[in-house]
């Protein structure tokens, strides 16, 4: 059975197994296309984001421009404090990435995601499905390569 994140905040008291599970939520999706997959937790915490961004740094440090595929299907809307922390964590990367997020939800959730992302990313797109988000990323990879 594959372990999945529970619908709770992961904090400093997380077990080593939970921390490893958090790390596995960020990985190279398509190495040849520089696409990184990022499965957002249901409930955010600064601790969880710190673990995620340790992985992000490992995966992108050797890459020039890269693409971020963010799965927001199960996540809750972040608080103002967490939105500010996300902006801080993403800041070192925003000039060298495009983010394609997908919500799996309705137009209203997509609008909420757009509001949050517009204050964080220079280049982003919001989609309902993973397939739509990947199509956007693949199109951008193709155009960038000429």
Phi then psi dihedrals of residue 69, to 5 deg: -105, 105
Nearest-Å Rg of the Cα atoms of the chain is 15
Identify the pLDDT of residue 112: 80
Tokens 């249901």 belong to which residue? Answer: 42
Give the chain's count of helices (H) and strands (E).
5, 5
Give the closest residue to 113 by CA, choosing from 76, 146, 140, 145.
76
Alpha-carbon distance 76 to 43, whole Å?
6
Alpha-carbon distance 15 to 86, whole Å?
23
Cα dihedral: 122, 55, 76, 9 (round 10): -140
Q: Output the pTM of the full model.
A: 0.93
CA angle 64/66/67 to nearest 5° reads: 175
Alpha-carbon distance 113 to 103, whole Å?
8
Identify the pLDDT of residue 1: 46
Q: Which residues of the chain register pLDDT less than 50? A: 1
Residue-wise pLDDT tens digits, 46-83? 999 999 999 999 999 999 999 999 999 998 888 999 99
Identify the pLDDT of residue 111: 82
């Amino acid at each position: 059975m594959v372990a999945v994140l529970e619908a709770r905040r992961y904090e400093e008291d997380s077990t080593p197994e939970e921390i490893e599970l958090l790390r596995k939520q960020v990985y190279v999706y398509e190495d040849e296309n520089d696409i990184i997959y990022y499965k957002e937790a249901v409930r955010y915490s600064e601790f969880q984001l710190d673990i995620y961004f340790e992985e992000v740094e490992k995966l992108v440090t050797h890459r020039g421009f890269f693409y971020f595929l963010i799965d927001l299907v199960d996540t809750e809307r972040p608080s103002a404090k967490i939105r500010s922390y996300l902006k801080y964590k993403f800041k070192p990367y925003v000039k060298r990435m495009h983010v394609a997020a997908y919500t799996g939800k309705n137009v209203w959730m997509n609008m909420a995601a757009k509001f949050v992302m517009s204050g964080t990313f220079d280049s982003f797109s919001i989609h309902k499905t993973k397939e739509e988000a990947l199509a956007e990323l693949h199109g951008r990879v193709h155009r960038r390569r000429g």
